[in-house]
Structure 1
Amino acid sequence: MTPGSPLTALRAPALAGIRRLNALDTVRARIAMAVDLGLLQPGERLPPTGEIARALDVGEMTARRALVALCEEGMLERRRGRTGGTLVAPRPAGGRVREIAAYQAAAGDVHRLIDQRLLLECGTAHLAASNAARHQIGELEALVARMDQASDWAEFHTWDERFHMTVAAATGLPSAAEQYGLVLRELYRHYLPCPLSHLRESNCEHAELVTALADRDPLKAAEVARGHVEALRRTMFVGLAEHGRDA
């Protein structure tokens, strides 16, 4: 691999070395920012701790400790009983989770990752439209159905990641899928919990992409992929939209 090549750039420290908080504070910052932005509404019940841990790629104990800390800070509250669980506080205390500022400081890196994903996703969709096997298209259709039935953002995220990695595998180029996965997983470290309404719209784009793959239409597939990533910039990463775009 020659210096300055696209693959070298993807593996450069700018991708892997984004300044991060520790795992506990990252979870606190992401959930607190989602509350501050109104993505999680007062009184809204959060998913089970295990689902949050999987969606945010941390251990269950870390997720539990983060939720306890946010309850102590007045962002969340814990209720017992059949209708209980962890909920957004009726009047969440804003401005107490200072780690949000450190999360926003990484906005320039996140926007660069989104740009890289845009490039890779268009190419991946284009190739998958030519190379996807019938069983892969069937798997993608099943994943779209699972996302339609998801009960919360954490469950949706699990199926979303599998969907995009299945599209990458459908290119028939393992090395390209590996590079796409590298960017996707790094970017997922920064996404915020989103309302299901946003995610349902995102899943409509997934369905459009599957149709383009089934029709063997590379240009349409690339067009859908481009629109999908740009929409995610405005929704999944909405808390960073005003930060770092020109960094």
Structure 2
Amino acid sequence: MTGPDVSTLASADEALFRPVRTGNAFEETVERLLQAIKLGVAGPGERLPAERELATKLNISRVTLREAIRALQEAGYVESRRGRYGGTFVNATIPEGKPAAQVKAGELDDVLTMRRVLEVGAAESAAARTLTPADRAYLRDQLTDARTGDLSEYRRKDSRLHLAIAEVAASPTLTSAVADVRVRLNELLDAIPLLDTNIDHSNDQHAAIVEKILAGDSAGARDAMAEHLDGTASLLRGFLS
């Protein structure tokens, strides 16, 4: 039995380690590295491409790459070794994560598609409204609360902010739909690790979304929310697909 030929490996390497988009560089880098590991492009015990080479292929800074590698190291997927033959190596045994049987075929794409439709629309609609002083204070309070330092509270407060955006759009039906999809989303999010870099990035994106809403910038709010959701989607696909 022969292994895959060199051209096949090169092709897979090029497909997975292509340039990432800049908006969610950390999240997409984590996704690409996880794909390479799970698809066996970088198998158990094998070394990932050198840092300089990998950063160039992904078109990201070495700082972003190191943050992504550190996140995967903390999650149990890779280890870093020093010395002449050092580098970043895939662990012999990688975490199983959420059992495949619990993520039904199409479930992830279904949740992410519904979330994008609802929450991008909610942000755009909220920005299009003439918000009351109470609406504005409510959004600011939820934004501040979401910047919690307590990781055990993060999912709940993150959810609360997203619901608040739907609430100030003034459509009870929309708020109810966002709540429903958020319950499904959180079940999936609970199966992946909380990454400090992603949380910091999400907090910055939350601030940008709320700023656009308060400024009445519908297009800006829509785009800021879409970019934020894409980051979460990248992590979920990376860890669960």
Q: TM-score, normalised by structure 2?
A: 0.57
* Structure 1 partner of 2:157: 159
Contact 2:76 2:95 in 1 (8 A): no
1:114, distance to aligned residue in structure 2 (A) = 0.3
Taking the aligned partners of 1:93 and 1:138, their CA distance within structure 2 comes to 51
* Structure 2 partner of 1:60: none
* Structure 2 partner of 1:173: 171
Taking the aligned partners of 2:124 and 2:164, their CA distance within structure 1 comes to 14
- Sequence identity percentage: 21
- Change in Cα spacing, 1:135 to 1:96, as seen in structure 2 (3 Å) is closer
Q: Spell out the pairing of 1:1-247 with structure 2 (5 A cutoff).
A: 38=73, 40=75, 94=93, 100-103=99-102, 105-106=103-104, 108-131=106-129, 132-152=131-151, 154-191=152-189, 192-236=192-236, 238-240=238-240, 243=241
What is the alpha-carbon root mean square deviation over aligned residues? 2.7
Flag structure 1 segments of 5+ consecutive residues without an equivalent. 1-35, 43-91
1:197, distance to aligned residue in structure 2 (A) = 1.6
Runs of 4+ in structure 1 deviating by more than 4 angstroms, as ranges, are: 36-39, 92-99
1:100, distance to aligned residue in structure 2 (A) = 2.2
Which digits, 9 at most, give the CA deviation of each residue in 1:171-204, with x for residues without a partner?
A: 1111111112111211111112311221110111
Q: TM-score, normalised by structure 1?
A: 0.55
Flag structure 2 segments of 5+ consecutive residues without an equivalent. 1-70, 78-90
* Structure 2 partner of 1:17: none
> What is the total number of aligned residue pairs between the two structures?
155
Secondary structure at 1:112 match in 2 = helix
Contact 1:137 1:210 in 2 (8 A): no
Q: Which moved more, 1:227-236 or 1:94-103?
A: 94-103
Largest Rg, 1 or 2:
2
Taking the aligned partners of 2:182 and 2:97, their CA distance within structure 1 comes to 27
Contact 2:115 2:181 in 1 (8 A): yes
